[in-house]
Amino acid sequence: MITSLPKLLSATVITLKLLSLSLFFGLFIGLLFAILRLNKNIFVNKFAYGYSYVFRGTPLLVQIFIIYFGLGQIEYFRSTFLWVVFKEPYWCAIIAFALNTGAYTSEILRSAFQTIKPGIIEAGKSLGISNKVIFYKIQIPVAIRQSLPAYGNEIILMMKGTSLASTVTLMDLTGVAKYIISTTFKPIEVFIVAGGIYLFMTFIIHNLIKFLEKKYSFN
Amino acid sequence: MMNIFKKTILTVIVSFLLIGSAYAGKIKIGTEGAYPPWNSKDASGKLIGFEVELAWTLCRYIGQQCEIVEQDWDGMIPALIMRKFDAIMAGMSITAERQKAISFSQGYADEVASLAVMKGSSLEGMETSEGINLTTKTGAVKKDLKTLTGALAGKTVCVQTATIHQNFLESGDVGKVNVRTYKTQDEVNLDLAAGRCDAALAAAVAFSDYAEKSGKPVVLVGPTFSGGAFGNGVGVGIRKDDTDLLNAFNKAIDKARKNGDISRIAIKWFGFDASM
């Protein structure tokens, strides 16, 4: 149990890398699609809706399998320049995670945009601030603050979701735990240690979000 | 009202106990169902393969009812220890490492391992002997291992996780290769065909079975491997304290071998006599 700890901890680094990169790309995707969702153009709007509908409506495991094993089956796809990226399990996992968390983030941000009190925007307008500046300096910051509690949840869900990286050959925390079990045949002890590490990461993320919520509180 | 409620509960409990006792005499055998031709599933999801057919035969000789249970490969030994089933028949080679955790019956079949690549790979045409036995590292064996070390340097070799094949690649016998592990052999085959693996290592029949069924140009390269890290044949895995069952299986294997059952079933599924 103790001897497996260093191996598990170094695997945690991979888990954290996967998580941070997915969240980084996911946040951009989420913001982009939230803005598209608010667009008046019906095609743009429906496209953004379709994206979030598909990625929220299918299991992450299915998505990662389609992106890793599915795309690899298409001969034409393997001849394109995209294969350089999709050949690597690491990038396939990050693409799948980022698209998945992006879909949830877009919904979180959209609802945050829609719940912004019209008074705040009107106040900006009455001061003669342009629509563009109102959007960047008022709407986006307020929306991000509004969405913090929900987004904190999404980070924790995504962190647990990274355990699926082990299904596409990546040796993340879960992957290494399974590997240790396959050589020691002691599942309970190893999974408890791995579970403890996940729980500790949740603890950190939870408190970080709580701190940010307090810091940017309206009161 | 309360009385009816109590009676219902009691009936349910009693019937569960009865069902439980009726099943107590059954031997549960765990298999993976994803390693053709050893064990796999047909289109309808029914378990088939060499070991499934052999399991029914052995159960007939033991004279007890059996049930075959499916279990993912990477949790096979823990599941046996935790009594989800009583015996493993899943193409599991008898190795010293596994014998620390469980007992094995005598071997019932043996089959060599081999590297496979896609046609046109630079690894094709490697100059080695036909096959090497790693139990005694003679000069010829060492020479082949050296050739392999040079050819595989920096290459990605794909294997199923927790197999003798993974152990061999990580033993250092072929230097430092980039080992990539998969949950099932199917996934290894898919990624070999997709070009994500420079080579793959598994039972030679697993590749020929895949090449035949998929029509993909998978070719075997290098020597075939046996002995050493590859273990001493495939046997039935049984819990260490279950000596009665171990004896029963050993006797059943003796009988099945004498009557030619193992050879017959092996030829049916492998195309050659892999019995031992």
Contact check, Cβ <8 Å, B194/A185: no
Asked whether residue B15 carries a pLDDT value surpassing 90, the answer given is no
Kindly state whether A219 is in contact with chain B, defined as any CB-CB distance less than 8 angstroms. no
At A56 the pLDDT is 97
B54 touches B89 (CB < 8 A): yes
| CATH number reported for the structural domain that contains residue A64 in this entry | 1.10.3720.10
At B25 the pLDDT is 77
Asked whether residue B46 carries a pLDDT value surpassing 90, the answer given is yes
* Residue stretches of chain A with pLDDT short of 50: none
- Residue A32 belongs to a domain: yes
At B23 the pLDDT is 46
Contact check, Cβ <8 Å, B81/A78: no
pLDDT over 90, % of chain B: 86
At B20 the pLDDT is 46
By CA distance, what is B187's nearest residue in A? A69
- Residue A127 belongs to a domain: yes
Cβ-Cβ contacts under 8 Å, A178 against chain B: 74, 161
More confident residue, B10 or A48: A48
Q: What confidence tens digit (pLDDT) does each residue in B104-144 have?
A: 999 999 989 999 999 999 999 888 999 999 998 899 999 99
Three-state SS at B249? helix
CA–CA dist A78, A85 (Å, integer): 10
At B32 the pLDDT is 96
Cβ-Cβ contacts under 8 Å, A89 against chain B: 180, 196
B229 touches B141 (CB < 8 A): no
Asked whether residue B250 carries a pLDDT value surpassing 60, the answer given is yes
β-pair partners for B179? B157
B26 touches B66 (CB < 8 A): yes
At B13 the pLDDT is 61
- Residue A36 belongs to a domain: yes
- Residue A174 belongs to a domain: no
Question: How high is the ipTM of this complex?
Answer: 0.84
- Residue A114 belongs to a domain: yes
More confident residue, B23 or B94: B94
Give the closest of A169, A182, A185 to B81, CB-based.
A185
At B5 the pLDDT is 66
Residue range(s) defining the domain that contains residue A154 = 18-168
The pTM assigned to this predicted structure is: 0.86
Contact check, Cβ <8 Å, B180/A169: yes
Instruction: Name the pairing type of β-strands B113-118 and B199-203.
Output: antiparallel
3-class secondary structure for A57-97?
A: HCCHHHHHHHHHHHHHCCHHHHHCCCHHHHCCHHHHHHHHH
CA–CA dist B51, B6 (Å, integer): 47
Asked whether residue B267 carries a pLDDT value surpassing 90, the answer given is yes
pLDDT band at residue B42, thresholds of 50, 70 and 90? very high
pLDDT band at residue B1, thresholds of 50, 70 and 90? low
Cβ-Cβ contacts under 8 Å, A69 against chain B: 187, 190-191, 194
DSSP-H helix ranges across chain A:
5-38, 42-57, 60-65, 71-72, 75-79, 83-86, 89-114, 118-126, 131-133, 140-161, 173-184, 187-215
Q: For residue B9, what are the contacts with CB-CB under 8 A and spacing of at least 6?
A: none
What are the tokens at B171? 């033993």
- Residue A175 belongs to a domain: no
Distances (CA, A) of A183 to A25, B66, B74: 36, 28, 10
Residue A152 carries which side chain, given as an amino acid letter?
A: G
Q: For residue B160, what are the contacts with CB-CB under 8 A and spacing of at least 6?
A: B35, B73, B166, B181, B182, B183, B184, B185, B188, B202
More confident residue, B126 or B246: B246
Three-state SS at B2? helix
Residue bearing tokens 């035969």: B57
CA–CA dist A160, A175 (Å, integer): 13
At A187 the pLDDT is 87
Contact check, Cβ <8 Å, A187/B78: yes
Domain count, chain A: 1
Shortest Cα distance, chain A CAs vs residue B2, angstroms: 42
- Residue A214 belongs to a domain: no
B96 touches B185 (CB < 8 A): no
DSSP-H helix ranges across chain B:
2-23, 50-62, 76-81, 96-99, 139-152, 164-170, 185-194, 204-214, 243-258, 261-270
Kindly state whether B81 is in contact with chain A, defined as any CB-CB distance less than 8 angstroms. yes
- Residue A210 belongs to a domain: no
pLDDT band at residue B8, thresholds of 50, 70 and 90? low
Give the closest of A87, A167, A171 to B196, CB-based.
A87
pLDDT band at residue B16, thresholds of 50, 70 and 90? low
Three-state SS at B203? strand
Cβ-Cβ contacts under 8 Å, B161 against chain A: 178-179, 182
**What phi and psi, each to the nearest 5 degrees, are found at residue A10?**
-70, -25
Asked whether residue B101 carries a pLDDT value surpassing 80, the answer given is yes
Three-state SS at B39? strand
A145 touches A108 (CB < 8 A): no
Contact check, Cβ <8 Å, B182/A73: no
Shortest Cα distance, chain B CAs vs residue A36, angstroms: 36
Neighbours of A173 (CB within 10 A): 29
Kindly state whether A197 is in contact with chain B, defined as any CB-CB distance less than 8 angstroms. no
Kindly state whether B217 is in contact with chain A, defined as any CB-CB distance less than 8 angstroms. no
DSSP string computed for B53-109:
HHHHHHHHHHTS-EEEEE--GGGHHHHHHTTS-SEE-SS-B--HHHHTTSEEEEEEE
A38 touches A110 (CB < 8 A): yes
At A1 the pLDDT is 64
Shortest Cα distance, chain B CAs vs residue A184, angstroms: 8
CA–CA dist B204, B224 (Å, integer): 8
Is there a cis peptide before residue B37, judged by omega within 30 degrees of 0? yes
At B2 the pLDDT is 57
